[in-house]
A and B are shown apart, each in its own frame.
Chain A
Amino acid sequence: MRDLTGSLAGLLALMRATGVTELELAEGDTALRLSLPSRPLAGAVPEATPRAAPAVETVHAVAFGILLLRHPAETRDPPAAGDTVARGDILAYLAVGPLLQPVVAPCNGAIEAVRGRDGEIAGFGAPLFDILPLAADTKE
Chain B
Amino acid sequence: MIEVLLTPPLNMVQDLGRTGFRCHGIARTGAMDRLALAAGNALLGNPPDAAGIEFQLFPVRLRFTRDTAIALTGADTMPRLDGRLMPPWWAVSVRAGQELVLSAPRRGMRGYLTVASGIDVPLVFGSRTTHLRAGFGGLDGRALAEGDRLPLGDAPAFTPRDPAGLGARPPGDVLPGGEAPDAGPGDVVLRVIPAAEYDQFDAASQALLWSQGWAVTSQSNRMGYRLQGAVPLRRTELVEMRSHGIVPGVIQVPPSGQSIIQLEDGNSAGGYPKIGAVIEADLWRIAQAAPGATLRFAPCDAAAARAAERAAAAYLGELRHLAGLGRRELGSAA
Q: Which of B11-19, B139-147, B148-156, B164-172 contacts A (4 or more CB under 8 A)?
A: B164-172
Q: Chain B interface: which size bin?
A: 20 to 34
Residue-wise interface mask of B (154-179) relative to A, using a CB-CB cutoff of 8 A (1 in contact, 0 not): 00000001111111111011100000
Task: Tell me which of B163, B172, B322 contacts A73 (CB under 8 A).
Answer: B172
Task: Give A140 Cβ to nearest chain B Cβ, in Å.
Answer: 22
Taking CB atoms, residues of chain B closer than 8 Å to A33 are 334
Measured CB to CB, the nearest residue on chain A to B73 is A73
Residue-wise interface mask of A (25-63) relative to B, using a CB-CB cutoff of 8 A (1 in contact, 0 not): 000000001010010000000000000000000000010
Instruction: Tell me whether B326 is interfacial, beta carbon within 8 Å.
Output: yes
Q: Are A71 and B87 within 8 A (Cβ)? A: yes
Q: Which of A1-9, A77-85, A88-96, A113-121 contacts B (4 or more CB under 8 A)?
A: A88-96
Q: Roughly how many angstroms separate A74 CA and B87 CA in the complex, as a whole number?
A: 8
Q: Are A104 and B162 within 8 A (Cβ)? A: yes
Taking CB atoms, residues of chain B closer than 8 Å to A102 are 87, 162, 164-167
Instruction: Tell me whether B315 is interfacial, beta carbon within 8 Å.
Output: yes
Task: Give A102 Cβ to nearest chain B Cβ, in Å.
Answer: 4
Task: Tell me which of B76, B88, B164, B326 contacts A99 (CB under 8 A).
Answer: B326
Taking CB atoms, residues of chain B closer than 8 Å to A73 are 76, 88-89, 170, 172-173
Measured CB to CB, the nearest residue on chain B to A37 is B334
Q: Are A101 and B318 within 8 A (Cβ)? A: no
**Contact count A vs B, C-beta below 8 Å:** 72
**Chain A residues with a Cβ closer than 8 Å to the other chain, count:** 22
Q: Are A101 and B162 within 8 A (Cβ)? A: yes
Taking CB atoms, residues of chain B closer than 8 Å to A74 are 76, 87-88
Task: Give B95 Cβ to nearest chain A Cβ, in Å.
Answer: 14
Q: Roughly how many angstroms separate A73 CA and B108 CA in the complex, as a whole number?
A: 10
Q: Are A22 and B88 within 8 A (Cβ)? A: no
Q: Roughly how many angstroms separate A51 CA and B147 CA in the complex, as a whole number?
A: 57
Instruction: Tell me whether A100 is interfacial, beta carbon within 8 Å.
Output: yes
Q: Are B173 and A72 within 8 A (Cβ)? A: yes
Instruction: Tell me whether B106 is interfacial, beta carbon within 8 Å.
Output: yes
Q: Roughly how many angstroms separate A129 CA and B70 CA in the complex, as a whole number?
A: 28
Q: Are A98 and B107 within 8 A (Cβ)? A: no
Q: Are B76 and A93 within 8 A (Cβ)? A: no
Q: Are B106 and A75 within 8 A (Cβ)? A: yes
Task: Give A22 Cβ to nearest chain B Cβ, in Å.
Answer: 7
With A98-B169, A100-B169 already in contact, the answer to whether A90 and B87 are too (CB < 8 A) is yes
Task: Give A70 Cβ to nearest chain B Cβ, in Å.
Answer: 10
Taking CB atoms, residues of chain A closer than 8 Å to B172 are 73
Task: Tell me which of A71, A88, A97, A104 contacts B88 (CB under 8 A).
Answer: A71
Q: Are A98 and B315 within 8 A (Cβ)? A: yes
Instruction: Tell me whether B227 is interfacial, beta carbon within 8 Å.
Output: no
Task: Give A58 Cβ to nearest chain B Cβ, in Å.
Answer: 18
Q: Are A72 and B162 within 8 A (Cβ)? A: no
Q: Roughly how many angstroms separate A22 CA and B322 CA in the complex, as a whole number?
A: 13
Measured CB to CB, the nearest residue on chain A to B324 is A99
Taking CB atoms, residues of chain B closer than 8 Å to A100 are 87, 89-90, 166-169
Q: Which among A90, A100, A101 has the greatest number of chain B C-beta atoms within 10 A?
A: A100
Residue-wise interface mask of B (100-133) relative to A, using a CB-CB cutoff of 8 A (1 in contact, 0 not): 0000001100000000000000000000000000
Q: Are B167 and A99 within 8 A (Cβ)? A: yes
Taking CB atoms, residues of chain A closer than 8 Å to B163 are 88
Measured CB to CB, the nearest residue on chain B to A33 is B334
Instruction: Tell me whether B325 is interfacial, beta carbon within 8 Å.
Output: yes
Q: Are B164 and A72 within 8 A (Cβ)? A: no
Task: Give B163 Cβ to nearest chain A Cβ, in Å.
Answer: 7
Q: Roughly how many angstroms separate A62 CA and B161 CA in the complex, as a whole number?
A: 11
Q: Are A97 and B325 within 8 A (Cβ)? A: no
Q: Roughly how many angstroms separate A100 CA and B89 CA in the complex, as a whole number?
A: 9
What are 10 A-B contacts with C-beta separation under 8 Å?
A22-B325, A33-B334, A73-B88, A73-B89, A90-B164, A98-B315, A99-B322, A100-B169, A101-B166, A101-B167
Chain A interface (Cβ < 8 Å from any Cβ of B)? 22, 33, 35, 38, 62, 71-75, 88, 90, 93, 95-102, 104
9 new A-B pairs (CB below 8 Å) besides A99-B166, A101-B167? A35-B334, A71-B167, A74-B88, A95-B169, A96-B322, A98-B168, A98-B322, A102-B162, A102-B166
The 6 closest A-B pairs by CB, nearest first: A99-B322, A100-B167, A72-B173, A35-B334, A102-B164, A98-B319
